Amino acid sequence: MNSVSVRALLVRGMLAGLAAGVLALAVAYFLGESRVDAAIALEEAHAHSHEHGGEELVSRTMQATGGLATGVLVFGVAAGGIAALVFCYALGRIGAFGPRATAALVAGAALLTVYVVPFLKYPANPPAVGNPDTIGQRTGLFFLMVALSVLLAVAAVITGKRLAPRLGAWNATIAAAGGYVVLVGLAYAFLPSFNEVGADFPATLLWEFRLSTLAVQATLWTAFGLIFGVLTERLLLPRTGSAAASAPTATVGAVN
């Protein structure tokens, strides 16, 4: 794929990430912020008898609006750009998939490896949950789990491609995926775990908060896959009608 196509796909990936970020922002605001407010209320009630030093640097209103929007949209643009570069490499190399299918696979793999797998080991915690003394360790381990998940996923793809000539595409895919699951399971077993949820913290609120964070990521990556797939197909398969439908493989091959 030439540099012009890569640059055009990178721009489209960032735009798709921005659009997906807007949708994820709506989910985060309407679904997640109420749970955050409830957790903060519990935290303040629990600490009511203790003195608080100093004023808060950023108001809760700013955190729930400008701060939330900045974080989600910047993440969407950055993630979209990185995913677009992964798409450039993956197109035509992971099977006979067109642009839309490749975009969907990249988005699904990103959701699984970058968020779901680390989330199952180190789920997000609302305010009032977690020991402040371990927040640095928990953050570091979460990003370590992200790195391990991504590296193991890349290794699984490479292994699957190498096994395909001997085992066939289906068996090679099953073997590679099984190896990924086993190695992730070992990482789960050997990395330290944290159980810092207080006995008085409502289990329902914790569950709803964690589901809302998962919903934000699922919305972002699903929307990105759908939007980016449309944009890439229009770029790489510019012809419409029966001519484009009859020869998609040749057109994709011409830009690789």
Per-residue pLDDT, 197? 78
Q: What is the pLDDT of residues 32-78, one digit of tens each?
A: 888 887 877 777 776 654 555 445 666 667 776 787 888 999 999 99
Q: What is the pLDDT of residues 221-244, one digit of tens each?
A: 999 999 999 999 888 876 544 344
- Phi, psi torsion values for 126, nearest 5 degrees: -75, 170
Residue 99's Cβ-count burial label (10 Å; 0-12, 13-18, 19+) is buried
Angstrom distance (rounded) from CA 96 to CA 93? 8
Query: Are residues 160 and 242 located together in one domain of the fold?
Result: no
Per-residue pLDDT, 24? 94
Residue partners of 105: CB distance under 8 A and separation at least 6: 90, 94, 97
Q: Which residues of the chain have pLDDT under 50?
A: 49, 53-54, 240-256
Angstrom distance (rounded) from CA 226 to CA 23? 12
Query: Are residues 25 and 121 located together in one domain of the fold?
Result: yes
Per-residue pLDDT, 242? 39
Per-residue pLDDT, 56? 61
Angstrom distance (rounded) from CA 1 to CA 20? 25
Per DSSP, 7 falls in state: H
Query: Are residues 216 and 89 located together in one domain of the fold?
Result: yes
Query: Are residues 210 and 256 located together in one domain of the fold?
Result: yes
- Find, among 172, 177, 171, the residue nearest to 156 by Cα: 177
- Find, among 122, 129, 119, the residue nearest to 36 by Cα: 129
Range of the domain at 32: 1-47+61-129+199-256
Helix (H) or strand (E) run with residue 169 in it: helix 169-190
- Find, among 10, 80, 89, the residue nearest to 256 by Cα: 89
Per-residue pLDDT, 1? 60
- Are the beta carbons of 46 and 202 closer than 8 angstroms? no
208: in domain: yes
Stated pTM of the model:
0.82
